[in-house]
Amino acid sequence: MGCGNNNDDFRSGNCVCEVVRAIKDIQDTAVEEECAECSSCFTEPLGTLVSPARREPVDTRVFVLSTEDGSPFHAFFSNEHNACVSIYFRVEDVFDNCCATLRVLVPGRREGGHFVPVNLVSSGDKCCIDLSKVCQVERFRASNDCITVDLKCFCAVQCIADVNLGLCN
């Protein structure tokens, strides 16, 4: 059950669902428009979220979802050596009553001009996200792993960056 959905008087919509739908629409209609003055998940066009003055070709609005207790939602992605965890996503599709297919994004940083994945899992605890490692993430790479979620189960969505993952080429 999503936040606020336990009250019959709560509006019929779901804000997380609406934001993710908007992100999908913005990704699908990446067109040239004037820069927006305020940065939010609804900022259009794609590419203006972080650097409105610098327009580079982008195809993805990276975002994170928060659960009811405020912790970041995470999913697994596989790589050549082992399974890893990410809190970063790209919306691939929104369907039915606020269900979505999300692509899991590989968090990383740049070292010597190369992409180096950042392991977000706490070293002493195999199940928890180390929030101090989240601050090390500055780049993203697409994984081949997707997850289907019910967007009504989340309480918050935060847009992180507009990036070019090369998925739409």
Q: Would you call 34 helix, strand, or coil by DSSP?
A: coil
Residue 10 domain flag = no
Which structural domain range is residue 149 located in? Answer: 15-163
CA–CA gap between residue 88 and residue 72 (Å, rounded): 9
Residue 99 in any domain: the answer is yes
In a domain, residue 107? The reply is yes
Q: Is residue 168 part of a domain?
A: no
| pLDDT of 11 higher than 50 | no
In a domain, 64, yes or no: yes
Across 20-45, average pLDDT: 71
Residue 126 banded pLDDT, cuts 50, 70, 90: low
| Count of domains for the chain | 1
pLDDT for res 46: 84
8 A C-beta contact, residue 167 and residue 125: no
**Residue (of 128, 46, 125, 48) closest to 90 by Cα position:** 46
135: in domain: yes
pLDDT of residue 81: 59
Range 59-79 average pLDDT: 93
Could you tell me if residue 80 is inside a domain?
Answer: yes
Residue 112 lies in a domain: yes
Determine the average pLDDT of the residues in 114-129: 80
pLDDT digits over 136-153, tens only? 999 999 999 999 999 999
